[in-house]
Amino acid sequence: MNKRKLLIVEDDPGLQKQLKWSFEDYELEVAGDRESALEAVRRLEPPVVTLDLGLPPDPANASEGLLTLNEILRLAPMTKVIIVTGNDDRDVAVKAVGQGAYDFYEKPIDPDVLSLIVERAHRLHELEAENRRLAASVREPLSGVIAGSTQMLDVCRRIEKIAPTNTSVLLLGESGTGKEVLARAIHELSGRRDKRFVAINCAAIPETLLESELFGYEKGAFTGAAKQTKGKLEYADGGTLFLDEMGDLPTPLQAKLLRFLQERVVERIGGREEIAVETRVICATHKNIKAQILQGEFREDLYYRISELTVSIPPLRERPGDSILIARVLLNKFRQANNAQVRDFSPASLAAIETYGWPGNVRELENRVKRAVIMADGPVIEPFDLELDAPASNGFRTLREIREEAEAAAIQQALAASAGQVGKAAEILGVSRPTVYHLMKKYNIQG
């Protein structure tokens, strides 16, 4: 069985010898100065390091040890650094913990106590490593989609069924829920994956330019039309055109798009030739198109053309557990991209992430986690780093609380359905009459 690694950074030969004897069960490395300590960190990647703050060239100056601490955490952010210090350096040791050290221990050294601290640090490192492995191994039900909730997994299964067909698809969902990600997934799972995926945001392009963007134009069709130009529909021939924010498509263009969907031909601005184009159209919007139809803002016949299959994407607040799952994946992504020392979320942060409503959905979560990784001062992200309020409690309910809440609701529903007859309620619930009486008494429910 492989021994666990431990790096001891200590310049006192006597303490070096004592610590070697105390940790003989470890794969041990001893360093007496900052340079050799950093070289050992690069070479061994030790899970745990004990660090004496007083190091050469000036053992009386604890700032040398703090410099070493910062360098170790920069090279190996996950390493647990235990500060070993004298009584005179206690304030500096506390400062070191604030800068990312795992813990500190005051001399004189008691080998048994220090061994317990090192053992605990190793165990925490192993748990964090396991969490990172689990986060890294999160299976994406679809490319680019991180989900574990039943609600979102059901959406992914629908997408998998829809993708191989050639039907038009309408994706409905709030801003930031990942409509374009799902549109790309449909394209990648279809027989069109080797052709272009072309995306256009109908709300981001002025109405005067949107028609030429979609359908193209002939040379001389208008001022500035210096050459013949294909539109997005032609560029996506054989592939997929994704029309985001379809609810903002101007009414005149709705008629022209409807003709394309019916006839599968386009006519460039200023042209007379009909050009056959075989493009699959996927539309998306956060608006209520049915309400727009009633208000005369959207053509009903176009709606039925673009919504041969409709997929509603749930907002993040309606996807239990997904906010934390996504946040952990994003933390790993941004930590590596920014070479940050941040290791994890605090329990209060996880509770805040779970209880927050996320009006901006996944896009807002991504922005907040990225900002927190960059701006956090310590190794753990706190609620204020995410610009969220810490919940009064930990934000999570126990299984017992959830079970009792469900039991009480089930008893009330069964009694209502049986007009208060306990015997019939017991039959509905599949339990005995005494059990129903017991639960009614437990939850103070009147028959």
Instruction: Report the CATH number that the domain containing residue 369 is assigned in CATH.
Output: 1.10.8.60
Phi, psi of 142 (to 5 degrees): -140, 155
Of the three residues 136, 164, 181, the one that is the final residue of a domain is: 136
Nearest Cα residue to 249 out of 178, 297, 177: 297
| 437 shares a domain with 357 | no
| 120 shares a domain with 91 | yes
Per DSSP, the three-state class of 96 is helix
Of the three residues 314, 331, 362, the one that is the final residue of a domain is: 314
In a domain, 100, yes or no: yes
Q: What is the pTM of this model?
A: 0.65
Single-letter code of the amino acid located at 388: L
| 247 shares a domain with 189 | yes
In a domain, 84, yes or no: yes
In a domain, 391, yes or no: no
| 168 shares a domain with 305 | yes
Q: Which of 60-64, 94-98, 271-275, 336-340 is the least confident region? A: 60-64
| 282 shares a domain with 242 | yes
In a domain, 60, yes or no: yes
Q: Which of 61-70, 286-295, 418-427 is the least confident region? A: 61-70
Structural domain harbouring 305:
150-314
Higher pLDDT, 360 or 21: 360
Q: Which of 20-34, 121-135, 250-264, 403-417 is the least confident region? A: 121-135
Q: Is the pLDDT of residue 14 over 90?
A: no
Per-residue pLDDT band at 155 (split at 50, 70, 90): very high
Per-residue pLDDT band at 139 (split at 50, 70, 90): low
Q: Highest mean pLDDT: which of 115-129, 143-157, 174-188, 377-391?
A: 174-188
- Give the rounded percent of residues in the chain with a pLDDT score beyond 70: 93
Pair 95, 66: CB distance under 8 Å = yes
In a domain, 294, yes or no: yes
Number of structural domains the chain divides into = 4
pLDDT value of residue 427 = 87
Helix H or strand E segment including 312: strand 309-312
| 68 shares a domain with 125 | yes
Of the three residues 293, 314, 335, the one that is the final residue of a domain is: 314
| 193 shares a domain with 119 | no
Question: Residue 260: which CATH number?
Answer: 3.40.50.300
Region of residue 427 (left: phi > 0; alpha: psi -120 to 50; beta: else): alpha
Single-letter code of the amino acid located at 396: F
The Cα–Cα gap between 46 and 51 comes to: 13
pLDDT value of residue 57 = 62
Nearest Cα residue to 178 out of 386, 324, 322: 322
| 187 shares a domain with 274 | yes
